[in-house]
Amino acid sequence: MKRIVALCLLLVIAASLASAGDTKRRGTAGAQEVLIPVGARSIATAGAFFPSMTGVEAIHYNPAGLSASPYSEAMFNYMSYIADIGVSYAAVSANFADIGAFGVSFKALAFGDIPVTTVEFPDGNGTTFTPGYYVLGLTYARTITDRVSAGVTFKMVREEIMSTSATGLALDFGVQYRFTSGLSLGAALRNIGTDMKYGGGELQTSLPISGGAPGTAEGSYTPETEAFQIPSNFEIGVSYRYTVDADNLLNFGASFRSNNTIQDEMFFGAEYKALNILSLRAGYETFLQEAGSSINGLNLGAGVDYRTDGNLWFAFDYAWRSVKEFPTDNHVFTVKIGFGE
Residue range 273-324, pLDDT digits in tens: 998 899 999 999 999 888 777 888 999 999 999 887 768 889 999 999 999 8
Q: What is the pLDDT, as a whole number, of residue 173?
A: 95
pLDDT (0 to 100) of residue 5: 52
Which among 179, 149, 193 has a CA at the least distance from the CA of 10?
A: 149
* Whether the Cβ atoms of residue 147 and residue 179 lie closer than 8 Å to each other: yes
Gap between the Cα atoms of 331 and 79, Å rounded: 6
**pLDDT value of residue 4:** 47
Q: Which residues of the chain have pLDDT under 50?
A: 1, 4, 11, 15-21
Secondary structure of the chain in HEC code, one letter for each residue: CHHHHHHHHHHHHHHHCCCCCCHHHCCCECCHHHHCCCCHHHHHCCCCCCCCCCCCCHHHHCHHHHCCCCEEEEEEEEEECHHHCEEEEEEEEEEECCCEEEEEEEEEEECCCEECCCCCCCCCCCCEECCEEEEEEEEEEEECCCCEEEEEEEEEEEEEECCEEEEEEEEEEEEEEECCCCEEEEEEEEEEECCECCEEHHHCEEECCCCCCCCCCCEEECCCCCCEECCCEEEEEEEEEEEEECCEEEEEEEEEEEECCCCCEEEEEEEEEECCCEEEEEEEEEECCCHHHCCEEEEEEEEEEEECCCCEEEEEEEEEEEECCCCCCEEEEEEEEEEEC
Listed by start position, the domains of the chain span 2-200+221-340
Quote the pTM value.
0.86
How far is residue 191's CA from residue 61's CA, in Å, rounded to a whole number? 11
CATH number of 2-200+221-340: 2.40.160.60
| Contact yes or no for 151/140 (Cβ under 8 A) | yes
**Tens of pLDDT along 124-153?**
888 998 999 999 999 999 998 888 999 999
pLDDT for the residue numbered 175? 94
